[in-house]
Structure 1
C-alpha cells in the first residue's frame, strides 16, 4: 500500500503543477484580454490546450491509483474523496490542501476571464448591430425626401 500511496501522491503533485501552470496562463490571458492582444490570446490558448491534455492524462492515471486504494479500503474509486483519503493517509494532507488552493485560484481567474470575454462579445455584437441596423441616415442632403428605404443605413448588407 505505501508504494501505491506514494504513486498516488506523486500523481496529485504533478496535477498541482499543471494547474499552477494553467493559473499563470490564465493570468497572462487576462492581461492579453485587457490589452485586446488577439495573437497573445491565441498563443496562450494553444499552450492551455496542451496543459489540459496533460491534466486529462494525469486524471486517468489518478483514477487507476484510486481504484487500487479503493479496493484496499473496500470502496469504489468514485466514492472516494481526496479529503477522505487525506484523513486516512496523512501523507496526502499537504497535496490535498495544495490542490484545493490551486483549483480554487484557477476557478476565480477563469470566472473573471469569462466575464471579460462576455463583455468583449457584447461590444462586438453592439458594433455589428450598429453597422447593420442603423435606423436613420446620419448624413443626407436637405433636398432628398425621406422615404422608408432612405431611413435605414446599412453599411453591411445582411442579404449577401
Structure 2
C-alpha cells in the first residue's frame, strides 16, 4: 500500500510541476498578447498543448492509482478524495499530501486568474479588429436629406467589400 501511496504522491507532484510550467507560459502569453506577437503566441500555444498532453497521461495514471487505493479502503474510486486519503494514512505521508494539495490548489487558482486575464485580452483584441474591419467595410450610414449628399454617399469608395 505504501508503494501505491508514494506513486500517487509522485504523480501529483509531477502534475503540480507541469501546471507550474503551464502557469509560466500563461504569464508569458499575457505579455505576448499585449505586444501582438503572433509567432511567439503560436510557440507558446504549442508548448502548452504538449504540457497538457503530459498532464492527461499523468491523470490517467492517477486514476489507476486512485482505483487501487479505493480498493484497499473498500471505497468507490469515484468517491475517494485526497482528503479521504489524508484522513486514512499515517502522518508523514498525510503531511506530504496536504502540502501537494495546497500547492496544487494555489497554482491552479493562479492559472485560472491568468487565463481569465488572457481571455479578456483576446476578447478586447477581437473587438478592436472587428471595429476596425467594420470601419473599413461599412458605408457611411449617417442620414442625409439632400440630393447632392445622397449622390456623394453612393460614390464613396470602400476599402474592402464585405462579401463573405
Shorter-chain TM-score above 0.5: yes
Within the alignment, does 1:104 sit opposite 2:109 as a pair? yes
Hey, what's the Cα distance between the residues in 1 that align with 2:20 and 2:149? 65
Q: Which residue of 2 aligns with 1:83?
A: 83
Query: Closer, same or farther in 2 for the Cα pair 1:132/1:65, shift >3 Å?
Result: same
Partner of 1:63: 63
Structural RMSD (CA): 2.0
Q: Structure 1 residues 148, 59: CA separation in 2 closer, same or farther (over 3 Å shift)?
A: farther
Closer/same/farther in 2, CA of residues 129 and 145 from structure 1, 3 Å limit = closer
What is the CA distance between 1:148 and its match in structure 2?
A: 8.1
**Offset, 1:154:** 2.5
* Cα distance in 2, alignment partners of residues 111 and 83 from structure 1: 28
Distance in 2 of aligned mates of 1:151 and 1:75 = 77
How far apart, CA to CA, are the structure 2 residues paired with 1:38 and 1:87? 48
Which position in structure 2 is the counterpart of 1:141?
none
Q: Is the Cα–Cα contact under 8 Å of residues 11 and 62 in structure 1 kept in the other structure?
A: yes
Contact 1:32 1:40 in 2 (8 A): yes
Provide TM-score, normalisation by structure 1: 0.87
State the TM-score, normalized to the length of structure 2: 0.85
Q: In the aligned structure 2, how far is the partner of 1:124 from the partner of 1:8?
A: 47
Whether contact under 8 Å (1:86, 1:96) holds in the other structure is no
Q: Which runs of 4+ in 1 moved over 6 A?
A: none
Gap regions ≥5 residues in structure 2:
143-147
Per the TM alignment, residue 4 of structure 1 is displaced from its structure 2 partner at its CA by 0.3
Residues 1:123 and 2:107 are matched in the alignment: no
